[in-house]
Structure 1
Amino acid sequence: MMIKIVKSLYIFLGFFFFGLGLLGIILPLLPTTPFLLLASFFFVKGSEKFEIWFKGTDVYKNHLEGFVKNKAMTLKQKLTILIFADCMIAIPFFLVDSILIRVILLIIVGYKYYYFIWKIKTVT
């Protein structure tokens, strides 16, 4: 019973993030790739049927397949994710008075840039 509830939650979250990813295609403020990566993760955890369906969609093929197969992204995808993540990290950075938390957030930002620059190939 509990496993069925958890799998249903994963499927729901898969569709939720898939919807946000679709909005990200239309709205330049929302990053498409991270939401689709989350959707893929939740579909894999939730149901093999939905995983197969998701991987067969044009959205997956156009926005994620290259990253999943080749660990590569376009420069635009990288910049969109980095800028969006920086904005999200800036909120607690400026709202929190703790020096320790600010240092941790700066380390996260530094590692994020290191990973995107050196570990993920840039393709055209």
Structure 2
Amino acid sequence: MKILYITLGTLSLALGILGIFLPLLPTTPFLLLTAALYFKSSPRLYAWLLNQKHLGPYIRNFRENKAIPLRAKIISISLMWITMLYCVFFIVPYLWVKILLLIIAAGVTHHILSFKTLK
């Protein structure tokens, strides 16, 4: 089971890192899943993850405060809306897909803003 947890944790970590750059892929949930899987499988990997310069604060802040830093909220919501609006105006030809993308963007925005803001 340890090998399975480590493998799934590493996959989750990769998706979390991709989520930093891809607007619809969430970063924090994947990093939290990675932390849980590493916690069950390897204290060394868990400690490594929490001590990472860029990733560790995401996990610690969310686990301790249930909060997302203001900068992360601004960047994630801005990138998501820029991408969605670009797709709506220049890429997607169907009206129903455009409406669906805008509804998804509004839902994700609401979800992100529903968490406390860590200043």
TM-score by length of 2: 0.58
Alpha-carbon distance between aligned partners in 2 of 1:8 and 1:17, rounded to the nearest angstrom: 14
Where do 1:43-62 residues align within 5 Å? 43-62=38-57
Alpha-carbon distance between aligned partners in 2 of 1:58 and 1:74, rounded to the nearest angstrom: 15
Alpha-carbon distance between aligned partners in 1 of 2:16 and 2:5, rounded to the nearest angstrom: 16
Match of 1:96 in 2: none
Alpha-carbon distance between aligned partners in 2 of 1:54 and 1:74, rounded to the nearest angstrom: 18
Tell me by how many angstroms 1:29 deviates. 1.7
Match of 1:27 in 2: 22
Identity over aligned pairs, percent? 41
Tell me by how many angstroms 1:50 deviates. 0.8
Note the alpha carbon deviations across 1:35-94, whole angstroms, 9 max, x for none: 1011011000111111111111123234222112222224628x87xxxxxxxxxxxxxx
In structure 1, the gaps of 5 or more residues are: 1-5, 81-112
In structure 2, the gaps of 5 or more residues are: 78-110
Q: Is residue 121 from structure 1 mapped to residue 106 from structure 2 by the alignment?
A: no
Alpha-carbon distance between aligned partners in 2 of 1:22 and 1:63, rounded to the nearest angstrom: 11
Which residue, 25, 35, 40 being the options, matches 1:40? Answer: 35
Alpha-carbon distance between aligned partners in 2 of 1:72 and 1:29, rounded to the nearest angstrom: 19
Higher helix share: 1
Alpha-carbon distance between aligned partners in 2 of 1:59 and 1:33, rounded to the nearest angstrom: 12
